[in-house]
Chains A and B, each alone.
Chain A
């Protein structure tokens, strides 16, 4: 059997139905095998888009997302997408064509060292050296990408390994001596965690992407209710607890809500669940939750004590850890005398730190647009964001009601991610409406994938919060650089309505909130690719904000 044939067979055995990619010379043998196969090939218009589509697909479905690119520039174009997926622990497998082994290392046409280039942006990567290695390489890639702390894996396929034939063996299981996944937490660690939590008077739970990845939302909610503990989330944890749950405190961090940031700062016990505790979440580390005993639950041991020092740790799957903690707590007596006071504090913080609502301006206001969007969409709609102010407005003012319904590029903050990720999400769940909350700058980076939406019948809605600037950077220049605007003004081009129409999509520019809601409703019910151009004030800031270098308590709610 040829390597290319084995490749397609191996993908089928993994249950792959859809792959996202752009073709080229070094993957021609594979494409020839895909011709006439049952696999769906979604043609992106740029490989970065293909990788983000695979990422969006993975985040929504919890299954591995697959992308394919040719060698050289095809492979390098994937890199941003691979790095974005990997840092957000999204299971993506990328396949790249490579020049034939016979010329590898000679700087042949379209040769790049993609193994070297992606070494620190993947969980693992493999270059195939013989056709017969392909089934094992594919199985290994899926296994490593989808187990433990999930991530991106790249498999590089020299063209002659695709063409040549060898006897093939398709392994059911693969194992690596150096790769052991420990899901089951140590009972002693669970005992300590439960004991600490049972004594907490001001407990706070900080939920990250690990709660979503391990499908632990029901357990998270039970624990929060049992302890009467407010839940703050990182950007990756948004949706882990419904946005309208009374114990939900909101996002914690640089653009966290007042109540989340202050509750975390005042906590006596902080339970961190599957979160990396990056600088955007902790703000100034020295001021982070100074009184708290920190319990950190993570499947990746290297995250423990990396940024925030912990008192105790639980290594393992977040869902299993939560189950173990719940079991133990249910046999302990909990002191509830201080619960009421703690919750009252949450209310007070919320009232004090809600930014004033702006009105009396011809522009639509971003927070109001987010709330209107929420009203116009069903509870289970899928939402992605771009990066910048749009992302933070979405995180702060658009409630997510379920895990895997709010997707954002957290770790890398990749502009241009949201739109192709939305397309991937639509491919995973064609039955649900998918909306990309975009900034005009970010959308410009990958807007050419409108062609993919239209041609592949993957309709998504793009809400462009159009401020004609690279808004987040402009906000920093306004607040911290004395309004010296440099390289942020985008001007009037393009006209997003015409742009949409040029691609055969629908373009609309609503003037009022009511009209906006109506337009969203129509786009969803018509299931048509629609770009909604929402003109907002170029001077509008996202608040709350913790200025760079400051601690979580230093919250600005207005300029």
Chain B
């Protein structure tokens, strides 16, 4: 049965590596749900977090196919029970109406978000949380009027001393 899984990948921080990783998913018809990338500890390495919908056999193949790529140093599927998975949302809400503005502030505060910019027409806010929490936040604020939004995709670390 296909379900959403999250994979952490440590790669060489070189041009073309992101392309090669993404290309592997495309070529073998796996669908990337989200991908986030950034340099780690030192700038020679980068860490990617990919979430993908796959059954266990497919997931196995994904890990093995990634693992054999020359520029991929480590691959690990993250156990959701033992990992922290977070995502950041930037959202621009239509707050011309004072009621809407009030409501926006309430939702953002409830999620411990940040108000980044306010002008007479709209508010830009930042919210982080587990992906489901972000989904939920979007649902709650949809009636207010979402002008635009951008999500980073999941980034994740394992709990305790576990390491990639």
Interface residues of A (CB under 8 A from B): 115-116, 119-120, 123-124, 127, 144, 149, 176-179, 300-302, 304-306
Of the candidates A119, A176, A178, A302, which one forms a contact with B61 in the assembled complex, judged by CB atoms under 8 Å apart? A302
**What is B's interface to A at a CB cutoff of 8 Å?**
11-12, 16, 19-20, 23-24, 27, 57, 60-61, 64-65, 67-74
Q: Which B residues are CB-close (under 8 A) to A178?
A: 11-12, 69-74
Q: How far is the CA of A64 from the CA of B9 in the complex (A)?
A: 31
Closest B residue to A177 by beta carbon equals B73
Residue of B nearest to A176 (CB): B70
- Whether the pair A115, B16 counts as a contact (CB closer than 8 A) is yes
A sample of 22 inter-chain contacts (CB < 8 A) reads A115-B16, A119-B16, A119-B19, A119-B20, A119-B23, A120-B23, A120-B24, A124-B70, A149-B68, A176-B70, A176-B71, A177-B12, A177-B73, A178-B11, A178-B12, A178-B73, A179-B70, A300-B68, A302-B61, A302-B64, A302-B67, A305-B60
A301's partner among B11, B67, B69, B71 (CB-CB below 8 A) is: B67
- Give the CA-CA distance A6 to B74 in the complex, in Å: 33
Question: A348 to nearest B CB, angstroms?
Answer: 37
Nearest-CB residue, chain A, relative to B20: A119
Listed residue (B64, B65, B72) with the most chain A CB atoms within 10 angstroms of its CB: B64
The residue in chain B whose Cβ has the minimal distance to the Cβ of A302 is B64
Residues of chain B within 8 A of A123, CB atoms compared: 70
Contacting pair B68 A116 (CB below 8 A): no
CA distance A127 to B61 in the complex (A): 28
User: Do B64 and A301 have beta carbons less than 8 Å apart?
Assistant: yes
Q: Give CA–CA (A115, B61) in the complex, Å.
A: 24
How far does the alpha carbon of A123 sit from the alpha carbon of B69 in the complex, in Å? Answer: 8
Q: Which residues of A contact B64 (CB under 8 A)?
A: 301-302, 304
Which single residue of chain A is at the shortest CB-CB distance from B68? A302
Assuming the contacts A115-B16, A177-B12, A178-B11, asked whether A301 and B68 have C-beta atoms less than 8 A apart, the reply is: yes
Complex alpha-carbon distance, A302 and B24, angstroms? 13
User: Hey, which chain A residues are within 8 Å of B69, CB to CB?
Assistant: 178
Chain A residue, CB-CB nearest to B28: A120
Q: Write out the residue numbers on chain B whose beta carbons fall within 8 Å of the beta carbon of A176.
A: 12, 70-71
Residues of B within 8 A of A115 (CB): 16
- In addition to A120-B24, A179-B70, A301-B64, 9 A-B residue pairs with Cβ atoms within 8 Å of each other are A120-B23, A124-B70, A149-B68, A176-B70, A176-B71, A178-B11, A300-B68, A301-B68, A306-B61
Check A305/B70 contact, CB under 8 A, given A119-B20, A120-B27, A178-B11: no
A residues less than 8 Å from B60 (CB atoms): 305
A121 nearest CB neighbor, chain B only = B27
Nearest A-chain residue to B57, judged by Cβ: A305
Distance in angstroms from A116 CB to nearest chain B CB is 7
Q: What separation, in Å, do the CA atoms of A115 and B73 have in the docked complex?
A: 21
Q: How far is the CA of A178 from the CA of B16 in the complex (A)?
A: 15
CA distance A124 to B72 in the complex (A): 12
B16: chain A residues at CB < 8 Å are 115, 119, 127
Chain B residue numbers with a CB within 8 Å of A124 are 70
In the complex, the answer to whether B65 meets A302 with C-beta atoms within 8 Å is yes
Closest 3 CB pairs of A and B: A302-B64, A178-B73, A179-B70
A contact residues around B71 at 8 Å (CB): 176, 178
Cα separation A144 to B57 with both chains bound (whole Å): 28
Residues of chain B lying within 8 A (CB to CB) of residue A301: 64, 67-68
Bound Cα distance from A540 to B125, whole angstroms: 73
Chain B residues with CB under 8 Å of A304's CB are 64
Q: How far is the CB of A231 from chain B (nearest CB, A)?
A: 27
Residue of A nearest to B27 (CB): A120
Provide the residues of chain A in CB contact with B61, threshold 8 Å: 302, 306
**C-alpha gap A300/B60 in the complex (Å):** 14
Give bound CA distance, A179 to B23, whole Å.
Answer: 19
Residues of A within 8 A of B74 (CB): 178
Most buried by A among B16, B27, B68, B73: B68
State the CA gap A119–B28 with chains docked (Å): 13
**Residue in B11, B19, B27, B73 whose beta carbon sits within 8 Å of that of A116 in the complex:** B19
A124 vs B16: C-alpha distance when bound (angstroms): 11
Docked complex Cα distance between A177 and B67 (Å): 11
Q: How far is the CA of A347 from the CA of B163 in the complex (A)?
A: 57
| Across-interface contacts of A116 in B (CB, < 8 A) | 19
In the complex, what residues of A have CB within 8 A of residue B12's CB?
176-178
Q: Please name the residue on chain A nearest to B22 by beta carbon.
A: A119
Whole-angstrom CA separation of A144 from B24 in the bound complex: 19
A300 to B23, CA, bound (A): 20
Nearest neighbor of A306 in chain B, beta-carbon distance: B61
Interchain CA distance A215-B67 in the complex, whole Å = 26
Instruction: Please report the C-alpha to C-alpha distance between residue A149 and residue B60 in the assembled complex, in whole angstroms.
Output: 19
A179–B11 alpha-carbon span in the complex (Å): 11
Q: How far is the CA of A516 from the CA of B136 in the complex (A)?
A: 78
A301 to B68, CA, bound (A): 8
| Nearest CB of A to B34, in Å | 22
- Centre residue among B12, B65, B70 by max chain A CB count within 10 A: B70
Q: A124: nearest residue on chain B (CB-CB)?
A: B70
- Per the bound structure, the CA–CA distance linking A115 and B24 in Å amounts to 14
List residues of chain B with CB within 8 A of the CB of A305. Answer: 57, 60
Q: How far is the CA of A221 from the CA of B64 in the complex (A)?
A: 31
A416 to B12, CA, bound (A): 38
**Complex alpha-carbon distance, A302 and B73, angstroms:** 16
In the complex, residue of chain B having the shortest beta-carbon distance to the beta carbon of A153:
B70
Q: Report B-chain residues with C-beta under 8 Å of the C-beta of A144.
A: 70
State A123–B70 Cα separation when bound (angstroms): 8
Closest residue of chain A to B14 (Cβ to Cβ) is A126
Complex Cα–Cα for A302 and B67 (A)? 9
Cα of A128 to Cα of B12 in the assembled complex, Å? 16
Tell me which residues across on chain A come within 8 A of B67, comparing CB atoms.
Answer: 301-302
Q: CB-nearest residue of chain A relative to B74?
A: A178
Closest Cβ of chain B: how far from A524's Cβ, in Å? 42
* Neighbouring A residues of B27 by C-beta, 8 Å: 120
Report the nearest B residue to A125, measured CB to CB.
Answer: B16
Residues in B neighbouring A302, C-beta threshold 8 A = 61, 64-65, 67-68
User: Which residue of chain B has its CB nearest to the CB of A301?
Assistant: B64
By beta carbon, the residue of chain B nearest A178 is: B73
A120 to B73, CA, bound (A): 19
